[in-house]
Amino acid sequence: MRKLKNDELFRKTEEEFKQADKKKITIILDNIRSLNNIGSVFRTADAFLLEQIFLCGITGTPPHNDIRKTAIGAEKTVNWQYFDKTEDAVKLLLEKNYTIYSVEQADKSIKLQDIKISKTEKYALVFGNEVKGVGAEIVNISSGCIEIPQEGTKHSLNISVCAGMVLWEFYKQMMSSV
């Protein structure tokens, strides 16, 4: 076994990425404080060829050095839009028939391993603030909540880790579902 060189990975150019058919997943970042977390989510969205990111509230926007540091150029490839209020972003997508899942601990949340998705539907995934999580008003208008089971002493994961796990599950199911 040998490690592949970058030129052997056959990655898309920025233009090819922009022209490619995207997975029907929109990420909504609800008041994310850390610019590094925002950059990491851009990079994950690029890796899985996702549709777009909605940056809401206090969530920082490109161009910014700290976003660029972790996005490594993905802030140039992934479509994004800014909203003053997360609620406006969610309502816009609901009007366009997206299924909205807040990634949050809630009384009727679906465990990540139990979620069943279809590649023919459009989804939006809301990831919340590093301290407060997804706002209650957003949880209330979401189609449902997804929760990552945790057994340790902490009751949350870093938002970029959480996004990676949830987005991988959606990507995996979209690639294998009929």
Domains of the chain and any CATH numbers: 20-176 (3.40.1280.10)
Q: Are 94 and 86 in contact (CB under 8 A)?
A: no
Distance in angstroms (rounded) separating the CA atoms of residues 138 and 15: 34
Q: Are 53 and 27 in contact (CB under 8 A)?
A: yes
Distance in angstroms (rounded) separating the CA atoms of residues 71 and 132: 24
**Residues above pLDDT 90, as percent of the chain:** 96
Report the C-alpha dihedral over residues 38, 174, 166, 100, rounded to 10 degrees: 80
So what's the pLDDT on residue 155?
87
φ, ψ for residue 171 (rounded to 5)?
Answer: -60, -50
So what's the pLDDT on residue 32?
98
- The DSSP letter of residue 99 is E
The amino acid at residue 79 is: N
81-139 tens-digit pLDDT: 999 999 999 999 999 999 999 999 999 999 999 999 998 999 999 999 999 999 999 99
Helix axes 159-176, 35-47, angle to 10 degrees: 10
Residue 38 pLDDT more than 50?
A: yes
Q: Does an H or E element contain 90, and which?
A: helix 86-95
Residue 178 pLDDT more than 50?
A: no
Beta bridge mates, 23: 50
43-73 tens-digit pLDDT: 999 999 999 999 999 999 999 999 999 999 9
Task: Count CA atoms closer than 13 A to 110's CA, side-chain side.
Answer: 15
- The mean predicted confidence, pLDDT, of the chain is 96
Residues 6+ apart with CB under 8 A from 5: none
